[in-house]
Amino acid sequence: TVPARAASAVPLRPAGGSAYGDQVIIKKNAAMSAGLRCVGVIGPNNAPVHITTFGETENDANAYLHVLHCALDEVELRSAGGGGGASASSSTDQGNGNQTPPGNPGATSGHQTSSSQIQKDPFLGMVFPTEQAKVFAYKTNTRAVFLLVYDDSFVQQESDIKQVFAKIHDAYAEAMSNPFAAPNSRIDSAKFCAEMRGLCTD
C-alpha cells in the first residue's frame, strides 16, 4: 500500500501494470519521483553527458535514447523562436489536468525576439508525450538541458517536478565546479551519479 502524502495523492499502481512489478520503490516521501523512468542531462553542445534509468530498464542507458532525442528537438524548437505552433499542439494534447503551458514568456506574450536565448524560467514543462511516457525539460542559461521521463500512468504535480529539477541543477553545478570536469564531456563524478540514482528512491 502507498502511504498518502498530504501534498499530492499518488494513485495506486494500475491493476494491469504488473510490467513494472517490484522495480518501482515507493517510499514515504517518494511521491515526487513516482513513475520516474529516466533522467537525462544534455550538455551545451547537445550531446548527452549523463543518463540514468530506473525501474525495468535499470541498466540499459539506450532504452530512452530515442525519447530523449525527440524531446531535445522539441526543446530546441521551443527555445529557438518561442515555438508557438509546436507548444500549442503538445500542451493541449493531454487530458491530464496537471499539465502547464511552457514557461517561455515569448510564447505567451506573442512577441518574439529572434535571438531570445535568455528565458526567464528554465522550466519548460512537458515537452514530449508518447504512449507510455511524458518528458519534462529544464533548460539552463548555459544551454544545458535536463530531461525527466515519467511513466504515463502516474500523475505528477508541477511543483514536485520543479523540485526534482532544482536538485538536478544543484548537483550539476557541483559536478561542473570540479576543476577536472569539461563542459561537454561525460560527467565522471561518482557523487553526481549517486545523486541521480537517489532521485527515484528519494
Residues contributing to the site for another protein (CB under 8 A): 174-175, 177-180, 188-191
Q: How far apart are CA 202 and CA 200, in angstroms?
A: 5
Complex with another protein: residue 7 or 194, whichever CB lies closer = 194
Shortest separation between residue 191's beta carbon and another protein, angstroms: 7
Helices 190-197, 158-177: crossing angle, 10 deg rounding: 170
Shortest separation between residue 187's beta carbon and another protein, angstroms: 10
Backbone conformation region of residue 162, classed left if phi is above 0, alpha if psi is from -120 to 50, else beta: alpha
Task: Give the E-state strand segments of 58-129 in sequence order.
Answer: 123-129
Complex with another protein: residue 31 or 175, whichever CB lies closer = 175
Complex with another protein: residue 27 or 191, whichever CB lies closer = 191
Amino acid at 18: S
Round to the nearest angstrom and report the end-to-end CA distance of the chain: 18
Decide: 35 and 156 in contact? Cβ < 8 Å.
yes
Backbone conformation region of residue 152, classed left if phi is above 0, alpha if psi is from -120 to 50, else beta: alpha
Shortest separation between residue 61's beta carbon and another protein, angstroms: 20
Complex with another protein: residue 141 or 177, whichever CB lies closer = 177
Shortest separation between residue 190's beta carbon and another protein, angstroms: 7
Complex with another protein: residue 41 or 133, whichever CB lies closer = 41
Shortest separation between residue 173's beta carbon and another protein, angstroms: 9
